[in-house]
Structure 1
Amino acid sequence: MEGFFARVKARAEALFREAPFYPWAEAIGHSALEALWARYSTPGLEALAAWAGPFRERVFREALEEAGGPPERARELAEAFFRERRRYPLYPEAEAFLAEARRRGLALALLTNGVPDLQREKLVGAGLAHHFSLVLISGEVGIGKPDPRLFRMALCAFGVAPEEAAMVGDNPQKDVRGARLAGVRAVWVDRGLRPEDPEASPDLRVGDLREVFLAEAL
């Protein structure tokens, strides 16, 4: 199954780069894999909503053909992927970490890349929306991580200086680099999924969110 998923990912990325809106998607950090399950229900994205169905089916059809599978199952698999991605699995310590941050009186902002409807659906579906007093979505503001302007928007909204804030994230290229460019402390939650960015070292590296408070990083 991992081999087939690798084919799906490769085909999705190749076809996504051919889409006429790809420069916009790249600017806001909207990925090819997210295009396989985004609804594109945000006003103004009607053209993407019409494009998405044929795109998904083509991705799975070509992946099946490469794998020697039955291409007639493309729509079935595309729809299954669309459903399965909506299970919203959470890291076990995420809820407790956010609750503890709020208990300590910390103001929480979520900075996320992607199209608005999908990112908000993820947040609500995961049951975490109530923890954040500010949510900045790249598809709404027009810029995405690691652009430091997105981080400065959050700083401005809270009325704090860069040295008074910290970014906690798991993406070295987007979270850590963006924070460093904005002059904000960067805490990298390294779950072994992404390589370190040699051009943007974090101020603190932890294995999971529980270690953030243990290290007194916030």
Structure 2
Amino acid sequence: MRLLLLDLDDTLLQDLPVSRRVLEELGRELGLLGFFRAVKEEAEALFKESPIYSWAKRIGHSALEALWARYSTFGLERAAEWAWPFREEVFRRALRRLGGPEEKARALAQAFFEARRVFPLFPEVPEFFRRTEGVPRALLTNGVPDLQREKLQGAGLWEAFDLFLISGEVGLGKPEPGVFRMALAAFQVRPEEAWMLGDNPEKDILGANRVGIHAVWVDRKERPPHPEARPDRVVLSLLEAL
């Protein structure tokens, strides 16, 4: 192995579990069960009507992330203007669906925006980095530049990589073959000399398959298999991949 390619969200950094925990805690404070599911589903439905949806889909930016992204990157002023009315409406719809107080929608949107800014790594990540020291590492992550960079800063991962490829910066998102080829070209490595580790069968595994890169599915039990993805290995933690 001459190059290690890694995904960020839910491979190294606990992302979806944190959103679930924060939203369920906010719901419990109001006596509402199933708040995470209600917010997620309402966000995904309304997100499809947004003026940034086609761009977000291209770079792999999700509806849940739209609830807490700052959109402070130059050129995203339109998204920043759109975001708060979107968030308030998402929470209003979720509250209506569960029989909660709709007048609290704005306050809940703000509470989630603030409380969501925590960045825990999976427990095995420090040991994984220690044991792969000396192997060049590239991060391939989908998302909005300012949000992904905030995650990297908050999780203390800036020193862990030799190259960062953020879809919102390079204009390509996984599973597009081009973003994988960018990493290979940067290190002058052939596909068969590289390994991709990620939790998303479609984005990480299928993308690597299309380029001929070895692929390890880190199954965090958050995503189902993809019918076309062919992982070389399936593991439950990063250390198992070693």
Q: Which has the higher contact order (CA 8 A, sep 6+)?
A: 2
Q: 1:4 and 2:35 equivalent?
A: yes
Alignment of 1:70-109 (within 5 A): 70-102=101-133, 105-109=134-138
1:35 alignment partner in structure 2: 66
Instruction: Count how many residue pairs are aligned between Structure 1 and Structure 2.
Output: 211
Give 1:181 shift: 0.5
Whether contact under 8 Å (1:12, 1:32) holds in the other structure is yes
Give 1:137 shift: 0.6
Identity %: 64
Deviations 1:183-208 (A, max 9, x none): 10001111221111121110011110
Whether contact under 8 Å (1:99, 1:131) holds in the other structure is no
Deviations 1:42-93 (A, max 9, x none): 0000111111111111110111111111111111111111122211121100
1:216 alignment partner in structure 2: none
- Counterpart residue type for residue 60 of structure 2: G
Q: 1:206 and 2:240 equivalent?
A: no
Q: 1:195 and 2:224 equivalent?
A: yes
Q: Which aligned runs of 4 or more in structure 1 are off by greater than 2 angstroms?
A: none
1:181 alignment partner in structure 2: 210
- Ranges in structure 1 where 5+ consecutive residues have no aligned partner: 214-218
Alignment of 1:164-179 (within 5 A): 164-179=193-208
1:24 alignment partner in structure 2: 55
1:153 alignment partner in structure 2: 182
Cα distance in 2, alignment partners of residues 148 and 7 from structure 1: 34
Cα distance in 1, alignment partners of residues 122 and 93 from structure 2: 33
2:147 alignment partner in structure 1: 118
Cα distance in 2, alignment partners of residues 95 and 72 from structure 1: 43
- Ranges in structure 2 where 5+ consecutive residues have no aligned partner: 1-23, 25-32
Whether contact under 8 Å (1:27, 1:143) holds in the other structure is yes
Whether contact under 8 Å (1:95, 1:128) holds in the other structure is no
Whether contact under 8 Å (1:114, 1:137) holds in the other structure is yes
TM-score normalised to structure 1 length: 0.94
Deviations 1:159-218 (A, max 9, x none): 1000110001111111000000111000111122111112111001111011111xxxxx
TM-score normalised to structure 2 length: 0.85
Secondary structure in structure 2 of the residue aligned to 1:168: strand
Cα RMSD over matched residues? 1.0
